[in-house]
């Protein structure tokens, strides 16, 4: 559904301002490549926070707390 809405928005942009639509079409892969390391960094930071949370909650889990 998200891809369909994105395609419809791009088609509307193509009708209204075709040079901008072509520029978006050419720059989208470059923006994706530049954002990829940031996504990987976010995944790594999320994993570290999950590990810290698991370590902090370990005593409660060992005593039988559910949560």
Give the distance, in angstroms, between the CA of residue 66 and the centroid of all CA atoms in the same chain. 31
For tokens 């928005």, what's the residue?
9
**Residue extents of the structural domains in the chain:** 2-62
Percent of the chain with pLDDT over 70: 99
How many other C-beta atoms lie within 10 A of the C-beta of residue 2?
6
What is the per-residue pLDDT across 34-61, written as a single tens digit (0 to 9) for each?
999 999 999 999 999 999 999 999 999 8
Per-residue pLDDT averaged across 24-28, rounded? 92
Terminal C-alpha separation, the chain: 34
């Amino acid at each position: 559904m998200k891809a369909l809405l994105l395609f419809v928005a791009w088609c509307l942009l193509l009708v209204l301002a075709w040079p901008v639509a072509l520029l978006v079409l050419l720059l989208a892969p470059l923006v994706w490549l530049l954002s990829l390391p940031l996504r990987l960094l976010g995944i790594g930071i999320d994993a570290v926070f999950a590990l810290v949370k698991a370590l902090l909650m370990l005593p409660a889990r060992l005593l039988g707390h559910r949560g």
